């Protein structure tokens, strides 16, 4: 009988750089490689501890004097849409959803470029070329899908227009929205909100309890939309907890905000991959 050792990935820390969410702050990430036969178990386990996937890497904020970034997920069974969210559903009822394997297309890249140029022209992804985009979509060692949202084809057209795309991972307890982008000209229909609402529907249909949204950053206007969803849970102090009034979450810096890296790594729970 063959046995394997428990999974013991190596963790590293990025060099400090300017925070993309809060002015005047430095961000740093704790990360590990996501590869090998146990990649799915590692992704499932670390996602429950506030980690996110980017291609074949799992990362979590580990800033020296700030702990503002909070991993957020929606508890599907308890979610109730607000009146404004119900209006968003109606405004986007012309869209058709299609789930595809994680392969990049020219249409996706064209939409991605239009989205970046409109919303994040000076962000860290602004210079991504088509090959880097393809890597973002296709380099996944876990179960992933590309969820496309299209409008009906106009007269004489063979296919409808691509309006939104979300790269989505399937976890053992939910779905994780890795990255989404949408057509700038449909800004008035709140497409970003609609894509989240539809992922709640996807999770409910699949019997999965959570939709992972990534990080909510109190004090960051570009991340505030996540706090508008009911049944939101925040990963804080090593546990998931229902989000209270968002004004209770502080963003001040302090040299004792985070534990030393060695302590952070020691507190991470890893999956036991030994054969039985």
Q: Is residue 145 part of a domain?
A: yes
- The more confident residue out of 244 and 271 is 271
Q: Is residue 125 part of a domain?
A: yes
Whole-model pTM? 0.91
The verdict on 19 and 96 lying in the same domain is: no
172: DSSP letter? S
The verdict on 51 and 16 lying in the same domain is: yes
Q: Is residue 129 part of a domain?
A: yes
The verdict on 95 and 228 lying in the same domain is: yes
Residue 260 in this model has a pLDDT that exceeds 70 = yes
Helix axes 106-119, 130-138, angle to 10 degrees: 110
Q: How far apart are CA 180 and CA 226, in angstroms?
A: 13
Kindly state the tokens that stand for 182: 């949408």
- What is the reported pLDDT for 248? 67
- What is the reported pLDDT for 3? 41
The verdict on 38 and 104 lying in the same domain is: no
Residue 223 in this model has a pLDDT that exceeds 80 = yes
Structural domain count, the chain: 2
Q: Is residue 2 part of a domain?
A: no
- What is the reported pLDDT for 1? 38
Residue 27 in this model has a pLDDT that exceeds 50 = yes
Residue 151, domain CATH:
3.40.630.30
Domain that holds residue 33: 11-70+251-266
The verdict on 82 and 210 lying in the same domain is: yes
- What is the reported pLDDT for 4? 47
pLDDT digits (tens, 9 = 90+) for 191-219: 999 999 999 999 999 999 999 999 999 88
The verdict on 145 and 43 lying in the same domain is: no
Q: Is residue 276 part of a domain?
A: no
The sign of the dihedral angle between the CA atoms of 175, 265, 58, 256 is positive
Q: Is residue 5 part of a domain?
A: no
Kindly report the number of other CB atoms within 10 A of residue 207's CB atom: 7
Question: Are the C-beta atoms of 30 and 264 separated by less than 8 Å?
Answer: yes
Kindly state the tokens that stand for 38: 């146990």
- What is the reported pLDDT for 106? 95
Q: How confident is the model at residue 160 (pLDDT cuts 50, 70, 90)?
A: low
154: DSSP letter? P
Residue 276 in this model has a pLDDT that exceeds 80 = no
The verdict on 44 and 86 lying in the same domain is: no
The verdict on 139 and 87 lying in the same domain is: yes
pLDDT digits (tens, 9 = 90+) for 50-98: 999 999 999 999 998 888 899 999 999 999 999 999 999 999 999 999 9
Kindly report the number of other CB atoms within 10 A of residue 160's CB atom: 16
Residue 184 in this model has a pLDDT that exceeds 60 = yes
The verdict on 82 and 15 lying in the same domain is: no
Phi, psi dihedrals of residue 81, rounded to the nearest 5°: -65, 145
Looking at every residue in the chain, the average pLDDT score rounds to: 89
pLDDT digits (tens, 9 = 90+) for 109-121: 999 999 998 876 5
For residue 261, the SS3 value is helix
Q: Is residue 272 part of a domain?
A: no
- What is the reported pLDDT for 56? 96
Query: What percent of the chain has pLDDT above 70?
Result: 88
The verdict on 104 and 60 lying in the same domain is: no
Q: Is residue 244 part of a domain?
A: yes
- What is the reported pLDDT for 258? 80
The verdict on 91 and 56 lying in the same domain is: no
Residue 154 in this model has a pLDDT that exceeds 90 = no
The verdict on 135 and 213 lying in the same domain is: yes
């Amino acid at each position: 009988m063959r046995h394997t050792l428990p999974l013991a990935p190596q963790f590293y820390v990025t060099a400090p750089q300017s925070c993309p969410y809060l002015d005047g702050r430095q961000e740093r990430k704790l990360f590990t490689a996501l590869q090998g036969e146990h990649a799915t178990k590692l992704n499932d386990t670390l996602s429950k501890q506030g980690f996110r996937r980017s291609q074949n890497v799992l990362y979590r904020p580990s800033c020296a004097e700030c702990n503002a970034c909070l991993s957020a997920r929606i508890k599907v069974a308890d979610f109730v849409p607000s009146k404004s969210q119900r209006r968003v559903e109606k405004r986007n009822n012309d869209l058709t959803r299609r789930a595809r394997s994680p392969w990049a297309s020219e249409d996706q890249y064209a939409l991605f470029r239009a989205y970046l140029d409109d919303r994040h022209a000076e962000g860290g992804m602004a210079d991504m070329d088509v090959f880097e985009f393809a890597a973002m979509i296709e380099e996944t060692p876990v179960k992933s899908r590309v969820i496309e949202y299209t409008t009906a084809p106009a007269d004489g057209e063979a296919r409808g227009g691509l309006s939104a795309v979300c790269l989505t991972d399937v976890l053992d307890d939910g779905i994780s929205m890795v990255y989404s982008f949408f057509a700038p000209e449909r800004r008035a229909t709140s497409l970003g909100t609609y894509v989240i609402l539809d992922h709640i529907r996807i999770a409910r249909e699949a019997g999965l309890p959570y939709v992972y949204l990534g990080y909510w950053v109190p004090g960051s206007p570009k991340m505030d939309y996540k706090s508008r969803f009911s049944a939101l849970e925040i990963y804080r102090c090593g546990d998931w907890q229902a989000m209270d009034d968002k004004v209770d979450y502080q963003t001040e810096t302090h040299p004792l905000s985070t534990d030393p890296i060695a302590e952070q790594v020691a507190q991470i729970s890893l999956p036991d991959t030994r054969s039985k």
